[in-house]
């Protein structure tokens, strides 16, 4: 029995005993320790790991990242935040809000291609969108140089007006045709390829101080099971979604020679069965990370939401294990603001339990970005700062100050 399973089994067994005596319910009700606590033997190794990746020709550092994430998720998880180096509660700049609270930066930095691929990005030094591109890419380089992992999402503006990514801002005709228009043969396919050209240029020129191309996790078309984005399930069939995804990977990998990317599949939290989760899955040859974004199950802080979230993450974890992929909670959080009060023990009980009970194995969790008026991760001095600190001190938690080398294969 490995250390992590020993910890989980003992902790859950003790807590279930206490809860049954007291009748209290603080988030563990309905969650039981795993029946089988002995880890299964890994089928992957350093010699065959490329065969499980979307890009068999990936750079050595990208292969190492995939391998190390797979190994890490058996016992630990990286803690990350979107825009950690540039988005601060109360606009308090300087160190990341996570570092203000814990003394360390996150282990994972989330970024977005939204401004980089915006139609208004002219590439001129005086252009605001290009300035954002420089800032975002510099943040990614800084994160890599610190040993952190980079993950990019893409709030891709719709291809007709290029104004927004939310479906409710589009006309009915645009909503029904936008996604199919970017497919091969569609009226906006060349437009889409031009955006991918921009992304390829960023990926291929993203280098650290070691002059190596930086590995990046890329999760396009996320939360596709909902209908708030124009790539949502109401606006394309499963086959059309798969076609777009496969074209995206093939174009970046095979046409543009991008070999430093791990591709992440990240629906929102609506799927509760493997069949539903995989209904728009483009295939093992096009995916490296199986994820789930989940805000809703944690929103009210009730125990049934924690159980529900844990069940969904267990599903993702098990599918990833079977497919030899990385598993993760790709977005989550609860924004504390003037209208949203703190949820007590949100991090150290709710998130932790959902991520670890029932032998769930996740490589990372990413919280959304802080803003001037609200925060997903508390900086120093908030009423729930200690709750977050306690979460980061869990044996499984990894921040930048204790992250292992993610870009070199370990000695066997």
- Decide: 184 and 247 in contact? Cβ < 8 Å: yes
Residues in Cβ contact with 373 at an 8 Å cutoff, skipping those fewer than 6 apart? 337, 338
- Residue 94 dihedral angles phi and psi, to the nearest 5°: 100, -135
Beta-bridge partners for 152: 111, 218
Tokens at residue 165, please? Answer: 């990514």
User: Hey, what long-range contacts does 306-309 have (CB within 8 A, 24 or more apart)?
Assistant: 306/27, 306/28, 306/31, 306/349, 306/350, 306/353, 306/354, 307/29, 307/30, 307/31, 309/269, 309/354
| CA separation, residue 140 to residues 85, 136, 143, 154 (Å) | 10, 6, 5, 15
Q: Which residues contact 22 (CB under 8 A, 6 or more apart)?
A: none
Q: Which residues are catalytic?
A: 223, 331
Distances (CA, A) of 322 to 267, 271, 315: 19, 18, 11
Q: Which two tokens stand for residue 130?
A: 């290009």
């Amino acid at each position: 029995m490995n250390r992590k399973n020993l910890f989980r089994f003992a902790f859950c067994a003790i807590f279930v005993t206490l809860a049954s005596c007291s009748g209290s319910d603080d988030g563990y009700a309905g969650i039981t320790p795993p029946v089988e606590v002995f880890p299964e033997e890994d089928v992957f190794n350093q010699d065959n790991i490329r065969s499980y990746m979307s890009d068999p020709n990936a750079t050595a550092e990208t292969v190492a990242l995939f391998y190390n994430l797979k190994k890490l998720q058996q016992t630990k998880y990286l803690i990350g935040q979107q825009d950690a180096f540039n988005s601060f509660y109360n606009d308090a700049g300087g160190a990341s809000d996570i570092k203000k609270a814990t003394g360390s930066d996150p282990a994972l930095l989330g970024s977005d291609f939204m401004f980089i691929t915006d139609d208004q990005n002219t590439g001129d030094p005086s252009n605001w969108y290009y300035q954002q591109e420089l800032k975002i890419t510099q943040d990614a380089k800084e994160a890599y140089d610190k040993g952190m992992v980079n993950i990019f999402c893409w709030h891709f503006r719709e291809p007709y007006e290029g104004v927004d990514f939310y479906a409710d801002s589009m006309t009915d005709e645009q909503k029904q045709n936008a996604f199919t228009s970017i497919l091969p043969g569609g009226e906006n396919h060349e437009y889409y390829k031009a955006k991918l050209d921009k992304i390829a240029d960023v990926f291929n020129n993203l280098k650290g101080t070691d002059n190596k191309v930086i590995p990046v996790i890329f999760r396009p078309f996320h939360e596709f099971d909902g209908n708030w984005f124009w790539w949502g399930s109401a606006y394309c069939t499963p086959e059309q979604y798969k076609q777009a995804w496969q074209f995206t990977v093939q174009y970046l990998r095979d046409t543009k020679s991008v070999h430093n990317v791990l591709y992440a599949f990240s629906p929102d939290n609506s799927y509760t069965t493997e069949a539903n989760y995989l209904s728009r899955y483009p295939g093992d040859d096009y995916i490296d990370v199986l994820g789930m974004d989940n805000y809703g199950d944690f929103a009210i802080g009730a125990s049934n939401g924690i159980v529900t979230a844990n069940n969904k993450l267990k599903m993702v974890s098990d599918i990833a294990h079977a497919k030899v992929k990385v598993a993760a909670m790709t977005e989550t959080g609860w924004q504390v603001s003037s209208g949203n009060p703190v949820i007590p023990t949100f991090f150290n009980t709710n998130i932790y339990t959902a991520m670890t009970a029932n032998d769930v194995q996740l490589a990372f969790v990413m919280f959304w970005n802080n803003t001037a008026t609200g925060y997903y991760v508390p900086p120093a001095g908030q009423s729930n700062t200690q709750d977050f600190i306690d979460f980061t001190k869990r044996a499984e938690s990894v921040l930048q100050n204790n992250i292992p080398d993610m870009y070199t294969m370990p000695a066997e």
